[in-house]
Structure 1
């Protein structure tokens, strides 16, 4: 009797596409005035790595304004084989717990992920410029129609 071995799942090309954001990054950011904070310039240090057998990108970022840490985030990105959408599980130092992950996909070199909550809707947009830089913006909308920038930045790979 031959033994049946179930092969462990392997990452799909969709999972591998997230590697564009893996590495150490330095961000130059603009914090836009919002209900959460005043506007102004900021910098961020972002560390991201492919983990868990290639299925996830785990990202940690720390923002500095006026010489002190002003915001931090921990994010997990993956591709959902069931609904064929990318997912973003986002946790940050504002302390709100998202009821569900942001969801979305790629259009060209831009990954857009949207999530709703009782407070409104958040949209995360990541645009690959090249292998050394990307743009990111976080936007807010009360109704998922008109979007206002909350944070915009350019991130450059640190060697």
Structure 2
């Protein structure tokens, strides 16, 4: 875990700002020991809204996923961090992506009993899709795909198919 991961998880805004200002750590660094979480995943999970904003302003990509496909929105939903979810949505972060089990943040919030988050996310999912469609029509490129995770997921799926074919 990098110094930036630790500061983001602790919600130490000043420390996060200093690390980012000095460019001491990549805000998109994935921690292998913690399921490939980025500092943004930690800040979202802990509900550190202003730290989330700061990280995104310094290039943190809210579309990046952990090894199980969780975005920062999944972690905010799990912890019932409505303010973080609202911020992510206002910044056009993908809040409706499915994880490796097919669960969206709204379902995660539902599982953990965060009804305020569920209600918000159900409405926000529709707005997110409308925004994606408008961006596509206008030729605006969105940063809403984690290419590395997608490639790894596709490779894992191909391996499963290959293994099942060799076992039959």
TM-score bin (small chain): under 0.3
Between Structure 1 and Structure 2, the one with more helix by share is 2
TM-score normalised to the size of structure 2?
0.25
Between Structure 1 and Structure 2, the one with more strand by share is 1
TM-score normalised to the size of structure 1?
0.26
